[in-house]
Structure 1
Amino acid sequence: MGAAAQNAPRAKPRKRRPRADGPRRKGRGSGAHPDDRDPQLLDTTLGRLVSDQGWAMDLRVHGVFGRWPSIVGEEVAQHCSPTSYSDGKLVVRTDSTAWATQLRLLAPTVVRRLNEELGHGSVTVIEVEGPNLPTWKKGRFGTRDGRGPRDTYG
C-alpha cells in the first residue's frame, strides 16, 4: 500500500439493524413455543374461515337439506323437498297439490323441528309450492282464471 492509503481515515463499519419482521422483535422470540407462524390444523383453519365469512348458517341449512328425510320422515321426504332458504323463509316443493296441502298442515311441526336443528328463530315461515303445472293461458281464447274445477293434479 502507498503512504496516502495508510494515512487516509478509515470508514466506520455500519451497524446492522435487525429486520422488523425477524425473530429479534421485542416480545416475539423464536423457539419451541407455538405461535401464528406454525402450521395449523385444517379443522381450525376452516372453522376460522367459516366464521370470518359468515357462512355458518348457510352450512347448517345445507346440512339440513342433506338430512331432510330424517327430519321430516321418509314418506314426506319422498313427496316434498326443500329448494331454497333465505331470511328465515324455507321454500319447499311438493310433487302434487295433495302433498302441498298436507305439508301446509304439517308446517308448524316442521318449523319446530328445523329450529331444533338450526337454532331458535332460524326458520320462521315455510312456503309450500305445488308441482310445476302446465299453463292454460295460451292462444286467443285463454282465460285468466284458469280451467275452473279441473285445475288440480295429482
Structure 2
Amino acid sequence: MPEPVDRSEIPETIATYLRLRGLEPQARPFRRRRRAQPDDEHAPFTPGRDPRGVADVLSDLTRESGWESQLAREDVVRTWAEVAGADTARHTRPVAFLDGTLTVQADSTAWAKQLQLMRAQILSEILRRFPEAGVEGIRFIGPDVPSWKWGPRAVPGRGPRDTYG
C-alpha cells in the first residue's frame, strides 16, 4: 500500500488534479518515464549495419525502382561494339527497341543481309550478357533512303516518277 505523502511536497496544480479525481497523492513520482525501446536499426554490430559500396546501393535502387530492364537495354546499345564485334559495329547501330525487338540499322543493304545470317549469334550474345533486357528478336534494316510516301501531304498511288531528270 502506498504511503501517504505530505501535501506540502506536491505542487498545488497536481494536488488539485488529484483531489478532483478523488485520488490521494502517493510518494512515487507522478510522471512515469517511458522505458526506452531497444532500437535495433541503429544499434552497432547488428546485421545490416556493415558499410556498403555505392555500386551495391545503386543496384538495390534500380532493382526496387524497376529500372533494370531499361538500363539493360541501354547497356546493349552502349556496348554494341562488344556484343556484335568491332567490325560489325562500325557499319551498324541500334536504332530502336519496341515490343522485345531490337532494330539495328546497317550502312548498306549488303551489311543488313549479312547480319540476318548472323542473327542467331548476335541474339545469343545479347541474351547471355543482358538477360534482363527483354530482347526476344532482332530486326536488321538497310540505310535510310528518301521516300515519297511519308508526310502530311502524301498522296496514294505511284507518285512522281520523273523527278530527277
Alignment: residue pair count:
135
Deviation (angstroms), 1:120: 8.9
Secondary structure of the residue aligned to 1:84 is: strand
Relative to the length of structure 1, the TM-score reads 0.66
Secondary structure of the residue aligned to 1:123 is: coil
Greater mean alpha carbon deviation, residues 31-40 or residues 119-128: 31-40
Secondary structure of the residue aligned to 2:69 is: helix
Whether 1:102 aligns to 2:114 is yes
Supply the AA of the counterpart residue of 1:16.
R
Which of 78, 91, 106 aligns to 1:79? It is 91
Which position in structure 2 is the counterpart of 1:127? 139
Query: Percent of aligned pairs with the same residue?
Result: 28
For each residue in 1:42-97, what CA deviation from the matched residue of structure 2 results, as whole angstroms up to 9, or x when unmatched?
22221111111122232223222222112212221111111233442111112222
Supply the AA of the counterpart residue of 2:62.
V
Gaps of 5+ in 2: 1-5, 15-28
Which position in structure 2 is the counterpart of 1:111? 123
Structure label with greater radius of gyration: 2
Gaps of 5+ in 1: 1-5, 19-23, 149-154
After superposition, the Cα gap between the structure-2 partners of 1:30 and 1:119, relative to the gap in structure 1 and judged at 3 Å, is closer
